[in-house]
Amino acid sequence: MTTQPNYIAKNLKKGDGFIFTTENKSAPFFSQNFRINNQGKLKTKEPNVYEEKIMQDSNKKIMIPGESALEALAEIEFILISLHKMGSYYSDKPLADYQRATTEFIDNEKITQKLAKVRRILSEGFDNTLGPDEMDDIERHMENIEFWKP
């Protein structure tokens, strides 16, 4: 019995990808890339079909209200300058102290939440209509990011 991709996909989250390999009568093995799109649907990733990044005309120019842009810039400035100052301060100190301080800074100052806020502000102006590849423009642009893995 061959495991079907839909069965495997039940254990995946949106944005996850996997390679499904099965025996095929015409070839010893058949491999196909799959991913779960933002709507939670299983989609085939066909190599090079959408190599040219298609962008909807409505997303070629987006508007961000000034107040929102300033909010995002303030968050980025806080993170960037703080990390720069920490790097300078710890440049002649033990690496373990620098690593501990930056980890505490990220945790105590809720840096991931601040970055999520910036991402939300930047994403709000985009039209999230799905293209012919059944992805929106943001999802399409982000699909090949290689995230940290343990």
First-to-last alpha carbon distance for the chain, in angstroms, is: 32
Helix, strand, coil percentages in the chain from 3-state DSSP, rounded to 5: 45, 15, 40
Indicate the pLDDT class of residue 79, thresholds 50, 70 and 90. Answer: very high
Which residue did the predictor score with more confidence, 108 or 38? 108
- DSSP H helix total and E strand total for the chain: 5, 3
Q: Which helix (H) or strand (E) holds 93?
A: none
State the average pLDDT for the chain: 78
- The single-letter code of the amino acid at 8 is I
Residues 6 or more apart in contact with residue 1 via CB below 8 angstroms: none
Top-confidence residue, 28 or 89:
89
Please give the pLDDT value at position 112: 96
**The whole model's pTM is what?**
0.63
Q: Average of pLDDT values for 67-96?
A: 96
Distance, C-alpha 112 to centroid of its chain: 13
The label of the residue with tokens 């010893």 reads: 28
Least confident of 94-98, 102-106, 139-143: 139-143
| Statement: residue 139 has pLDDT above 60 | yes
Cβ atoms of 43 and 36 within 8 Å: the answer is yes
pLDDT of residue 44: 58
Give percent of the chain with pLDDT exceeding 90: 47
| Residue 54 pLDDT class (50, 70, 90 cuts) | confident
* Residue 131 pLDDT exceeds 90: no
| Alpha-carbon distances of 74 from 21, 69, 70, 115, 118, rounded to whole Å | 47, 9, 6, 11, 10
pLDDT score at 4: 47
